[in-house]
């Protein structure tokens, strides 16, 4: 049941249970927007839109579920023989791909975002990983719809040969709201074309992103689609690297939302930092914030700017 929003703007708030935890979704009514800047814990360092159509607030779900600042014990980490059903890690079988992911990690261990050569190499390595996955999965572009999560998700789509015109573009930004504890997550969402979004209904939906950390952006968008009555026939999530706990959460969330899904990744991360960055088995950065690294490969209109 919808609740009245505390602000005067025409916004509906719906509470749902996800994986046994309370999650809320705020939806601006037609002609309105959800102003976000004054609600941010640290607006001075924020880079992104000032308002959204939708805000999904996961609150402390990821902290309570043990993703925040976490590391899976060595004896519980996945191998080629123990990866759960619904999750595929190609790097367990492909040494060439595993080497590429190791080089991505090596680049990520330094402050590379402003280094043009490093960012180009980072881009090409991620494209190589997605290409390997594409060949293994025999991806046929005419059989899927692609949800391009701006920023890194859009670039990942282009790495797979899916142009901007072919993608269903949706602005997606992680937010930390006032009054919430460290590790709490909210997601701001604005579709570029709401009508095109509805065409996803009943289709095979692919979402790709180099970093599969908490999957909060992916799940937040799927919550929004579900609220709109849009139900993909199948959801495939592709990542350069997938986290252990995050990918398990995502599969459970898909089930809770009544969706059939799978996760396909090049590499595997057993740990997440206090900023939800992926870490390798050696405790080193894995892919870092792919959005910052790949922003330069977006068209100007889609690049994020300080406000």
Task: Please name every residue paired with 208 in a beta bridge, in sequence order, or none if there are none.
Answer: 238
Of the two residues 299 and 306, the one the predictor is more confident about is: 299
- Phi then psi dihedrals of residue 98, to 5 deg: -60, -35
| Rounded distance between C-alpha atoms, residue 265 and residue 22, angstroms | 29
The answer for residues whose C-beta is within 8 angstroms of residue 44's C-beta and 6 or more apart is none
Residue 160 placed within a domain:
yes
| Rounded distance between C-alpha atoms, residue 147 and residue 205, angstroms | 7
Residue among 169, 166, 235, 153 at smallest CA distance from 202: 235
Task: Give the model's pLDDT for residue 305.
Answer: 58
The stretch 124-137 carries a mean pLDDT of 96
Has residue 306 got a pLDDT over 50? Answer: no
Q: Which residues of 2-30 are buried (b: 16+ CB within 10 A; e: fewer)?
A: eeebeeeeebeeeeeebbeeebbbbbbee
* Residue 153 binned pLDDT confidence (cut-offs 50, 70, 90): very high
Has residue 296 got a pLDDT over 90? Answer: no
Residue 306 placed within a domain:
no
Task: Give the model's pLDDT for residue 284.
Answer: 87
Task: Give the model's pLDDT for residue 240.
Answer: 97
The parent domain of residue 53 ranges over 2-300
Residue 130 placed within a domain:
yes
Give tens-digit pLDDT for 154-201: 999 999 999 999 999 999 999 999 999 999 999 999 999 999 999 999
Has residue 307 got a pLDDT over 50? Answer: no
Considering only the C-alpha atoms of the chain, give the largest distance between any 2 of them, rounded to a whole number of Å: 57
Of the two residues 254 and 301, the one the predictor is more confident about is: 254
Give yes or no for a contact between 88 and 73, defined as CB atoms under 8 angstroms apart: no
Give tens-digit pLDDT for 92-120: 999 999 999 999 999 998 888 888 999 99
Query: Over the chain, what is the mean pLDDT?
Result: 92
* Number of domain units in the chain: 1
Residue 124 placed within a domain:
yes
Residue 307 placed within a domain:
no
CATH number for position 168: 3.40.50.2020
* Residue 9 binned pLDDT confidence (cut-offs 50, 70, 90): low
Task: Give the model's pLDDT for residue 223.
Answer: 98
Task: Give the model's pLDDT for residue 3.
Answer: 52
Residue 42 placed within a domain:
yes
Helix (H) or strand (E) holding 261: strand 261-269
Give tens-digit pLDDT for 218-254: 999 999 999 999 999 999 999 999 999 999 999 999 9
Has residue 30 got a pLDDT over 90? Answer: no
Task: Give the model's pLDDT for residue 4.
Answer: 47
Residue among 191, 190, 154, 189 at smallest CA distance from 174: 189
Residue 305 placed within a domain:
no
Residue 223 placed within a domain:
yes
Has residue 1 got a pLDDT over 50? Answer: no
Helix (H) or strand (E) holding 218: helix 216-227
Q: Which residue has the tokens 């191998």?
A: 79
Of the two residues 8 and 122, the one the predictor is more confident about is: 122
The stretch 57-76 carries a mean pLDDT of 96
Residue % of the chain over a pLDDT of 90: 80
- How would you class 260 by CB atoms within 10 Å of its CB: exposed for 0-12, middle for 13-18, buried for 19 or more? middle
């Amino acid at each position: 049941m919808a609740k009245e929003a505390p602000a005067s703007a025409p916004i509906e708030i719906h509470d749902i249970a996800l994986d046994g935890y309370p999650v809320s979704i705020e939806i601006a009514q037609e002609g309105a927007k959800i102003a976000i800047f004054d609600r941010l814990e640290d607006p001075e360092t924020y880079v992104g839109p000032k308002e959204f159509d939708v805000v999904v607030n996961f609150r402390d779900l990821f902290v309570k579920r043990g993703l925040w600042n976490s590391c899976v014990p060595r004896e519980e980490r996945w191998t080629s023989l123990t990866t759960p059903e619904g999750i595929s890690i190609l790097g367990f079988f492909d040494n060439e791909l595993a080497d590429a992911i190791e080089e991505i990690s090596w680049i990520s261990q330094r402050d590379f975002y402003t280094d043009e050569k490093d960012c180009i190499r980072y881009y090409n390595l991620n494209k190589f990983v997605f290409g390997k996955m594409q060949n293994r999965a025999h991806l046929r572009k005419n059989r899927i719809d692609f949800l391009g999560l701006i920023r890194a998700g859009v670039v990942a789509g282009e790495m797979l040969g899916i142009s901007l015109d072919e993608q269903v573009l949706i602005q997606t930004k992680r937010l930390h709201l006032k009054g919430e504890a460290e590790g709490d997550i909210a997601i701001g969402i604005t579709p570029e074309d709401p009508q095109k979004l509805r065409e996803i209904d009943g289709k095979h939906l692919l979402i790709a992103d180099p970093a599969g950390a908490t999957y909060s952006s992916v799940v937040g968008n799927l919550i929004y689609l579900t609220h709109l009555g849009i139900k993909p026939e199948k959801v495939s999530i592709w990542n350069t690297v997938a986290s252990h706990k995050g990918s398990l959460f995502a599969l459970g969330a898909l089930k809770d939302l009544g969706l059939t899904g799978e996760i396909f990744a090049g590499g595997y991360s057993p740990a997440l930092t206090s900023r939800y960055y992926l870490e390798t088995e050696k405790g080193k950065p894995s892919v870092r914030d792919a959005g910052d690294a790949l922003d330069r490969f977006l068209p100007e209109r889609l690049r994020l700017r300080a406000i």
